[in-house]
Amino acid sequence: MAEVIKMPRLSDTMEEGTVASWLKKVGDKVEEGDILAEIETDKATMEFESFYDGTLLHIGIQEGETANVDALLAILGEEGEDISGLIDGSSESDSASKSDIKEEKADDSKKEEAENEGDSEKDSSEEESSDNAESSDIPEGVEVISMPRLSDTMEEGTVASWLKKVGDKVEEGDILAEIETDKATMEFESFYNGTLLHIGIQEGETAKVDALLAIIGEEGTDVSGIISGNKSGSAKKENSKKEAPKKEESKKEAPKQEESKKETPKKEESKKEASKPQNSSSADGRVFASPLAKKLAEEKGVDISKVSGSGENGRIVRKDIENYSPAASGGNIQQFVATGEESYEDVSNSQMRKAIAKSLGKSKFTAPHYYLNVEFNMENMIAFRGQFNQLPDTKVSYNDMIIKAVSIALKQHPQVNSQWFDDKMRLNKHVHIGVAVAVPDGLVVPVVEFANEKSLQQINAEVKELAGKARNKKLKPEEMQGSTFTISNLGMFGITNFTSIINQPNSAILSVGAIIEKPVVKDGKIVVGNTMTLSMACDHRTVDGATGAQFLQTLKMYIENPILMLT
């Protein structure tokens, strides 16, 4: 399904934007996180990321063109998809809205002409007095920052963390906060110089777009009137904007022009300084870099903390990564941290991490877990795998063989293949094996359906495909649902034994350790053998100890005699 991307509002005062350049052209494949375009706002030129995967089917605003916020910027979808309706609908709605505005203006002008001159003079004097009152509420040099709309569909934002606190000095380009939108967590820069006088939305709090986010101004400035006015007078401000837009615009433009004149020398100085490479790290070790620069650095394996930035205020941009040479940075010495000095980093919880915490916490504290441990002789499986992989185009792993053995054993022990619900216990006759896969943000469990009916080669191919999708965040919801039993394997990391938390509503989960070489007793003699430890966590509400032990005895038979899996 096609996704319509609109001109985003990338700063708190942005009303329109200019497309400085497109980094993708129509027909190009686009992945989530790719930079689509560079957009020039009223304050800076910023990179705009895609929040969708697909093909760029349409560009609505060409390079150099300017359009209002929410105008059709681009359309992403499947290659060859018909989007004529979306394009026509956008243009019709735009023209309709423009004609409505013209009609409203004409009606307003007729009404104004019909009004009594005395009333109009009275109204104008009242408007002037109210305007004077409003302008007096905001002291000179104070900037009110609203919650920005950082994506085209954002309606509200959550402050993940503040990187500045009240009383801190702030310079243009400093990162004020990290704001979590409906699609991503993004850094929000300051476009002003001054002192952070007030924080309107605390860490972890959520607020609508345009809500009071912060106030910046000269140190010691009284901003209590702005804070109280923002709480009680938002409705009045909206009404006044509708009644007299021209007057407000003219009054707002005048101080902006004066400010720009005052700030011109500062901007010229900053441009001169920006032309030279600067230190791109703040005192707390934070690296200032554009999203595209971070992406390129990750792809090229460059340590971005060692790169000198040539952008504004030392910000690292794309050309810095492209021109970076490790040899040139040989003189950079890592900052020495004294022994005993405390340091830490607060990392905001991702949505995936929150979901994991919620589901596993519920499982651990509601299901009565108990654990059964068993050690298997792996000599026959090692020999079997070596012979099996000699077949053309065949390469199965120990994990694939364990999945197959577990699925066959579960058919013989439906009580272990069960699920617990508040009002019933479900004994599953089918076997869907969930395979735990580690990803950067946490853990996902894709499902191999009807595993007992599939061959070792089919299981191997499916697990590889699902694991690849998991690491690339391409798994579909239906590919992670419906498991009846779960396997978690940490053997490839050298872990010999461990216990897992049950993936509810399943009744059990199997933890698989590494195959280790150790002394074993065989025919009354101590010889070198290969063993593997498995631990099964069971829900005592559905699986009794004897039931779990019988299942492991059956599993032992298949693992120590893998030829039986082929019958």
**CB 548 within 8 Å of CB 374:** no
**What's the CA angle centered on 197, arms 196 and 203, to 5 degrees?**
70
Reported as half-sphere exposure (CB side, CA atoms, 13 A), residue 437 has a value of: 23
**Torsions phi, psi of 555, nearest 5?**
-65, -40
Question: How are beta strands 485-489 and 433-435 bridged, if at all?
Answer: parallel
Dist. CA 90–CA 75, nearest whole Å? 11
Sheet holding 169-170, edge to edge: 143-146, 212-217, 194-199, 169-170
The encoded tokens of residue 30 equal: 């686009």
Distance of CA 42 to the CA centre of its chain: 27
DSSP state of 430: S
Question: How are beta strands 66-68 and 16-22 bridged, if at all?
Answer: antiparallel
SS (H, E, C) 265-324: HHHHHHHHHHCCCECCECCCCCECECHHHHHHHHHHCCCHHHCCECCHHHCECHHHHHCC
The encoded tokens of residue 349 equal: 């919880």
Residue 113: Cβ-neighbour burial (10 angstroms; 0-12, 13-18, 19+): exposed
SS (H, E, C) 8-27: CECCCCCCEEEEEEECCCCC
Dist. CA 251–CA 136, nearest whole Å? 12
Q: How far is CA 33 from CA 52, 56, 185, 250, in A?
A: 8, 14, 12, 39
Q: Which residues are catalytic?
A: 540, 544
Angle between helix 234-243 and helix 245-274 axes, rounded to 10 deg: 100
Reported as half-sphere exposure (CB side, CA atoms, 13 A), residue 9 has a value of: 18
Nearest to 532 by CA among 426, 374, 421, 313: 374
